[in-house]
Structure 1
């Protein structure tokens, strides 16, 4: 590989996309951990109860809403 290609726009785009993927993965992992700890209080069975399902759904929605709000707030500060 030619070293001059290291600063190419394609490489920069690729790195930005990979960073975004890593950030999304981190958000999903944090959300899963937070919502699991909040909603699954006992040993899970073969499937979630309706209250666990509702709790997980609501928790995930609120987590994503707050993440979007925080991102918008930081973007408006720049």
Structure 2
């Protein structure tokens, strides 16, 4: 015997609201995954010494360049996907 109440059927406005919420949450999850990938990639590439309170000049420059290239690449990919969608 379950103590949970049955889930009521949703009206159209509630369905649209739920779909919008789910889309927002999926977009947030994608952004978090991209940030995690960016952090992992750039950290492993640029941080070669021991961890201290400050990055060396070389590490700081490498991190800045890595982030810039990662963002440029991501933007390029998004633009290419959007261009392909428009051709369909």
RMSD of Structure 2 on Structure 1 (CA): 1.7
Alignment of 1:1-78 (within 5 A): 2-5=8-11, 8-78=15-85
Aligned to 2:3: none
After TM superposition, the score normalised by the length of structure 2 is 0.80
TM-score where L is the length of structure 1 = 0.89
Which gives a bigger RCO, structure 1 or 2 (Cα 8 Å, sep 6+)? 1
Name which one, 1 or 2, has greater alpha-carbon Rg: 2
Higher helix share: 1
Dislocated runs of 4+, deviation >2 Å = none
Q: 1:44 to 1:5 in 2, by over 3 A?
A: farther
For structure 2, the 5+ residue unaligned runs are 1-6
How far the C-alpha of 1:41 sits from its partner, in A, is 1.0
CA distance in 2, matches of 1:3, 1:57: 50
Aligned pairs, number: 78
Task: Quote the offset at 1:5 in angstroms.
Answer: 4.5
- Structure 1 gap segments, 5+ residues each: none
